[in-house]
Structure 1
Amino acid sequence: MMTAPGQAPTVPPGPRHPLDPDPARASKARAVFALGLLAALTGLFVGGVVPATVALQLARQARREAYASGGFLTGAAWLRRGERLAWTGLALVAVTVVAAVVVGVVRLAEAPYGQDFAPNVD
């Protein structure tokens, strides 16, 4: 086999064993992406917490299954994208909660303290 100077020689892949399964995309990878997208879209409404946590748990399980499969389960790119979207959704939830707390504290500080009586009441 001839290669260009500076290139590493390529080795043709060995024959596959007939009982080896065909590589397939993990079904959990698609679910992680869908849940991560849902979390990112609903993060500002604080509804993104549930799909984000489910997506992160599924991603963890999918990574374990992909590792145990020895390379026959694919979909790592979908997992990464789904995890990033889930973390984005959680960050949006955190921003929303912090903003709501700040607005609540400011409104509480502006409220009159105690009971306000008329000027002619002792």
Structure 2
Amino acid sequence: MRHPDDPEPIRDSKALTAYILGWIAVATGLLVGGVVPAVVALALARQARGEIADGQGWRTGDRLAVRGQLLAWIALGLAVLAVCAAVTIGVLLRSANPNHDFPPGVN
């Protein structure tokens, strides 16, 4: 039983922020703009998990922090996929037209 003077457990705000930023990162991951919120979400989730562990039960939100990390990694994977697809398409388009238009007088 809890003592009446003990504080109420509270949800860690960094965990919630990491979760929200994870969703923003996933939504913008294919546009490569999701890299920034994903990196921030990873940093905040790590800090939140440390604070939750140090809180000894007075801080909650570990699930949100873990989900934020997962979403951030998914967003980074989407960004890498988008960059690889763009490079592949660029190489294929460049190789499809190998003719170079050199100026007159060039052998």
> What's the TM-score once normalised by structure 1's chain length?
0.77
Question: Which residue number in structure 2 is paired with residue 46 of structure 1?
Answer: 32
Q: Which one has more relative contact order, counting CA pairs under 8 Å at least 6 apart?
A: 2
| Aligned structure 1 segments of 4 or more residues deviating by more than 2 angstroms | 15-21, 111-118
**5+ long unaligned stretches in structure 1:** 1-14
2:67 maps to 1:81: yes
Task: Give the drift of 1:92.
Answer: 0.6
For the residue of structure 2 that corresponds to 1:114, the secondary structure is coil
User: Structure 1, residues 60-102: CA drift from partner, whole Å, max 9, x if none?
Assistant: 0001111111111101111122111111111110110000010
Q: Percent identity?
A: 48
1:32 and 2:26 equivalent?
A: no
Q: Which deviates more from structure 2 when the two are superposed, residues 20-29 or residues 35-44?
A: 20-29
Residue identity in the other structure for 2:27: L
Structure (1 or 2) with the larger CA radius of gyration: 1
1:22 CA displacement: 1.5
Q: Which moved more, 1:99-108 or 1:19-28?
A: 19-28
Secondary structure of 1:47's counterpart equals: coil
SS in 2 for 1:53: helix
RMSD (Å), alpha carbons: 1.9
Match of 2:54 among 56, 68, 78: 68
Unmatched segments (≥5 aa) in structure 2? none
